[in-house]
Chains A and B, each alone.
Chain A
Amino acid sequence: MPAVQETVARVREIDVDQYKYGFVTDIESDRAEKGLSEDTVRFISAKKGEPEWMLEWRLDAYRRWRTMVEPNWARVDYPPIAYDELYYYSAPKSTPGPKTLDEVDPELLRTYEKLGIPLREQEILAGVEQRRVAVDAVFDSVSVATTFKKELAQAGVIFCPISEAIREHPELVKKYLGSVVPTSDNFFATLNSAVFSDGSFVYVPKGVRCPMELSTYFRINEQNTGQFERTLIIADEGSFVSYLEGCTAPMRDENQLHAAVVELVAHDDAEIKYSTVQNWYPGDAEGKGGIYNFVTKRGDCRGKNSKISWTQVETGSAITWKYPSCILRGDGSRGEFYSIAISNGRQQVDSGTKMIHLGKNTTSKIISKGISAGRSQNTYRGLVSAHRKATNARNFTNCDSLLIGDECGAHTVPYLEAKTSTAVFEHEATTSKISDDQKFYCLQRGLSEEEAVALIVNGFVKDVLQQLPMEFAVEAQKLISISLEGSVG
């Protein structure tokens, strides 16, 4: 869907949410104290009206988190995060939001313009105060969302905020939450487990092909879930679901630290396709104010012949730390990872994937395209491992980096571990640079420098773009050229 529509959709969601639940949160009076303690966790759990077991689960994670240290092996560099200075629930604005668009980073506004986003929506995206505007859109969108919900319900698909699932479908949540990413998994995942705000829950029953792409278009509670989002998707035997996350319009957020967890479970013969376009605010030219994005995404191909594929277009954030992974447990299961990671300005990206082959005849494929421009650093970090019992494990990895300019960096860090001699891992990697001669050739044919770079870059990422659902791909393509603006000349 075009950016404008996507934004309209987003604006609508905000109001759908209010309408549906009949409250407008008075942020000032409805928030946890600054910092993180058991009380904060209890507060969050109580606010969500959670059952006791959920609270215990969170507290367990919290206690564990207190004993952990932040990882520092990634090739990213940022000032220490003062965890006790953060708000963990309904974070109020630490500084008053901009009063008008005049106070917003002009670069951000320029991007909105390029995406063709109308003024009023720009205000909302940029977090200008008095954001509740699109009232006229409410009724319309409620009916749209209701239609979708009805159709999904008919198919037996459960798609709701995870907070709702905890109340309405405790047996499913209990069974699957933390079963892919254990609460003890890593520093950021553990933090998320203690304080996660909300996110999506999807359950596709046996043999059901989900009748539509599940996108953020009608996802509820979007506005409050940004910081510590938790998503759980379960595809039961023989089912299929395609889930789209993200938005092409850059979103500002008062919360600098983001630590999401996404868990996917695919049973026998089931398939999950998870696509992301990530475009968080990368910060101004100096890198100030950008989002730190520490994400744990993991899919468990639990059943035989199951399949999980991750497709991602990463263009935003000041820091991205993200390794969507597949555990290939079921015999004959398949994992795929298609990624475009773009860094510009002073962005730092450390991203990649892990393919853990446990079952027999499991296959995985990794196509990673990293583009670095400006003074950014872009690292691909990938692990492919085959367990002793994973006979005939197959992996194909293709990892290409493209450099634009002389001040950026691209790094490839592949880890390969095969404990069975029958495993076959293929790894291809290239690093190239857009040469001045190539650029001149394009200019001589009448292309502007920016058009030339966009053309070359689009050629470079084509294989991955093709993996995205059509409308998303078109949007992503536009987004890629915008992300690289200012990287030439």
Chain B
Amino acid sequence: MLSIKNLHASIEDKPILRGLDLEVKPGEVHAIMGPNGSGKSTLSYVLAGKDDYEVTEGSATLDGQDLFALAADERAAAGLFLAFQYPLEIPGVATMTFLKAAVNAQRRARGEGDLPTPQFMKLVREKADGLGISTDMLKRGLNVGFSGGEKKRNEILQMALLEPKLCVLDETDSGLDIDALKVVSEGVNALRAQNRAFVVITHYQRLLDHITPDVVHVMAKGRIVRTGGPELAHELEARGYADYVGEAAA
């Protein structure tokens, strides 16, 4: 589904990703762990098409489609979703309004008509209930005054509504209390499907206790330096990144 080969990317001429390879198959959940500053968020931004990043080498395809040939909104319509580490606030734009605009923009890009409002409302209510998001929150400005945990839940709500092919979750667990972590994980698990894949960026095993990954990667200094099964996460939890930081530097 997602195929990244020898990806190099820099920001302001500073190389951050330095030859990254990653293969994710449909239905799989991959976890990416790694020390602060190793380039995890950068990877997610580069895939999603943020302006400031320059791809200097390598390729990334989603279902065979060259991601780098598409604009950011086209990548979204092609089925790429990024749950932000720091979701943005947009004052004045009600969350509900934003959700509707996003859903309809993607439907239009795929040549489908707008979702009729009553149907849309019903859908949102359904998904929001599951994530413990109140009607009141949906009326408020997008993410404005939301707590850290509420923002993250809102990301998952958007993911559920947009039904992407590939979901990249950047530290969705950070800032969540224990109950919220469960709610969010259940939200993600409910979306697991044969034709959908996840890349879950996290620092903690506790998220992976809820969302069991198929593959765990260690990222350091802009590369995947080790790949293993779920047990690798436990090992990291116990031993830290010391080995890998050294290895990548060498």
Residues of B within 8 A of A (CB): 48-52, 71-73, 75-77, 81-82, 84, 87-94, 97-98, 101-102, 105-106, 109, 141, 158, 162
**Residue contact B92 to A462, C-beta cutoff 8 Å:** yes
Question: Can you name 15 A-B residue pairings with CB atoms under 8 Å?
Answer: A436-B52, A438-B88, A443-B73, A444-B48, A444-B72, A444-B73, A444-B76, A444-B81, A444-B82, A446-B76, A446-B102, A449-B73, A451-B101, A455-B97, A459-B90
Top-3 shortest CB links A-B: A459-B92, A459-B93, A445-B102
Closest to B94 in A: A459
Interface residues of A in 430-478 (CB under 8 A from B): 432, 435-438, 440-449, 451, 455-456, 458-460, 462
Closest to B44 in A: A444
**Residue contact A438 to B90, C-beta cutoff 8 Å:** yes
Q: Contacts A438-B90, A444-B76, A445-B76; is A455 near B162 (CB within 8 Å)? A: no
Closest to A435 in B: B88
Closest to B81 in A: A444
**Residue contact A446 to B105, C-beta cutoff 8 Å:** yes
Contacts of B76 in A (CB 8 A): 443-446
Contacts of B84 in A (CB 8 A): 441, 444
Contacts of B52 in A (CB 8 A): 436
Beyond the given pairs A444-B81, A448-B73, A448-B105, 10 more chain A to chain B contacts, judged by CB atoms under 8 angstroms and listed by A's residue number, are A437-B88, A440-B48, A440-B72, A443-B72, A443-B73, A444-B82, A445-B158, A446-B76, A449-B73, A456-B92
**Residue contact A456 to B87, C-beta cutoff 8 Å:** no
- Measured in the bound complex, the distance between the Cα atoms of B38 and A329 in whole Å is 68
Cross-interface CB contact of B106 among A435, A436, A440, A446, cutoff 8 Å? A446
Q: How far is the CB of B107 from chain A (nearest CB, A)?
A: 9
- Measured in the bound complex, the distance between the Cα atoms of B143 and A459 in whole Å is 13
Closest to B141 in A: A459
Contacts of A444 in B (CB 8 A): 48-49, 72-73, 75-76, 81-82, 84
**Residue contact B105 to A447, C-beta cutoff 8 Å:** yes
**Residue contact B91 to A459, C-beta cutoff 8 Å:** yes
Q: How far is the CB of A438 from chain B (nearest CB, A)?
A: 5
Closest to B109 in A: A446
**Residue contact A446 to B88, C-beta cutoff 8 Å:** no
**Residue contact A443 to B101, C-beta cutoff 8 Å:** no
Closest to A434 in B: B90
Closest to B108 in A: A446
- Measured in the bound complex, the distance between the Cα atoms of B92 and A459 in whole Å is 4
**Residue contact A443 to B49, C-beta cutoff 8 Å:** yes
Q: How far is the CB of A335 from chain B (nearest CB, A)?
A: 25
Residues of A in contact (CB 8 Å), total 22
- Measured in the bound complex, the distance between the Cα atoms of B134 and A78 in whole Å is 53
Q: How far is the CB of B118 from chain A (nearest CB, A)?
A: 19
Contacts of A462 in B (CB 8 A): 92
Q: Is the interface of A mostly helix, strand, loop or mixed?
A: helix
**Residue contact B92 to A460, C-beta cutoff 8 Å:** yes
Q: Mark A392-425, 1 if CB is under 8 A from B, else 0.
A: 0000000000000000000000000000000000
- Measured in the bound complex, the distance between the Cα atoms of B87 and A46 in whole Å is 68
Contacts of A440 in B (CB 8 A): 48, 50-51, 72
- Measured in the bound complex, the distance between the Cα atoms of B51 and A438 in whole Å is 12
Q: Contacts A445-B105, A446-B162, A449-B73; is A455 near B98 (CB within 8 Å)? A: yes
Closest to B110 in A: A446
Contacts of B75 in A (CB 8 A): 444
Q: How far is the CB of B77 from chain A (nearest CB, A)?
A: 5
Closest to B77 in A: A446
Q: Which of A444, A449, A458, A462 has the most CB of B within 10 A?
A: A444
- Measured in the bound complex, the distance between the Cα atoms of B84 and A440 in whole Å is 11
Contacts of A438 in B (CB 8 A): 88-90
Contacts of A447 in B (CB 8 A): 73, 101-102, 105
Contacts of B141 in A (CB 8 A): 459
- Measured in the bound complex, the distance between the Cα atoms of B91 and A456 in whole Å is 8
Q: Which of A432, A438, A440, A445 has the most CB of B within 10 A?
A: A445
- Measured in the bound complex, the distance between the Cα atoms of B76 and A442 in whole Å is 10
Interface residues of A in 165-214 (CB under 8 A from B): none
Q: Which of A437, A438, A442, A460 has the most CB of B within 10 A?
A: A442
Q: Contacts A446-B73, A446-B162; is A451 near B93 (CB within 8 Å)? A: no
Contacts of A459 in B (CB 8 A): 90-94, 97, 141
**Residue contact A451 to B51, C-beta cutoff 8 Å:** no
Contacts of B102 in A (CB 8 A): 442, 445-447
- Measured in the bound complex, the distance between the Cα atoms of B101 and A442 in whole Å is 9
Q: How far is the CB of A445 from chain B (nearest CB, A)?
A: 4
**Residue contact A455 to B82, C-beta cutoff 8 Å:** no
Q: Contacts A441-B88, A445-B162, A460-B92; is A455 near B72 (CB within 8 Å)? A: no
Q: How far is the CB of B235 from chain A (nearest CB, A)?
A: 33
Q: How far is the CB of A453 from chain B (nearest CB, A)?
A: 11
Contacts of B87 in A (CB 8 A): 441
Closest to B161 in A: A445
- Measured in the bound complex, the distance between the Cα atoms of B109 and A78 in whole Å is 44
Closest to A449 in B: B73
- Measured in the bound complex, the distance between the Cα atoms of B202 and A105 in whole Å is 54
- Measured in the bound complex, the distance between the Cα atoms of B98 and A460 in whole Å is 13
- Measured in the bound complex, the distance between the Cα atoms of B141 and A444 in whole Å is 18
- Measured in the bound complex, the distance between the Cα atoms of B92 and A437 in whole Å is 16
- Measured in the bound complex, the distance between the Cα atoms of B90 and A460 in whole Å is 10
Contacts of B109 in A (CB 8 A): 446
Q: How far is the CB of A442 from chain B (nearest CB, A)?
A: 8
Contacts of B88 in A (CB 8 A): 435, 437-438, 441
Contacts of A451 in B (CB 8 A): 101, 105
- Measured in the bound complex, the distance between the Cα atoms of B141 and A432 in whole Å is 15
Q: How far is the CB of A465 from chain B (nearest CB, A)?
A: 11
Contacts of A458 in B (CB 8 A): 92-93
- Measured in the bound complex, the distance between the Cα atoms of B39 and A120 in whole Å is 57
Contacts of A442 in B (CB 8 A): 90, 98, 102
Contacts of B105 in A (CB 8 A): 445-448, 451
- Measured in the bound complex, the distance between the Cα atoms of B97 and A257 in whole Å is 41
Q: Which of B52, B76, B90 has the most CB of A within 10 A?
A: B90
- Measured in the bound complex, the distance between the Cα atoms of B158 and A447 in whole Å is 13
Contacts of B92 in A (CB 8 A): 456, 458-460, 462
Closest to B106 in A: A446
Interface residues of A in 101-155 (CB under 8 A from B): none
Q: How far is the CB of B181 from chain A (nearest CB, A)?
A: 23
- Measured in the bound complex, the distance between the Cα atoms of B71 and A446 in whole Å is 10
- Measured in the bound complex, the distance between the Cα atoms of B52 and A435 in whole Å is 13
- Measured in the bound complex, the distance between the Cα atoms of B73 and A441 in whole Å is 10
Q: How far is the CB of B97 from chain A (nearest CB, A)?
A: 7
Q: How far is the CB of B105 from chain A (nearest CB, A)?
A: 4
**Residue contact B90 to A456, C-beta cutoff 8 Å:** yes
- Measured in the bound complex, the distance between the Cα atoms of B50 and A459 in whole Å is 24
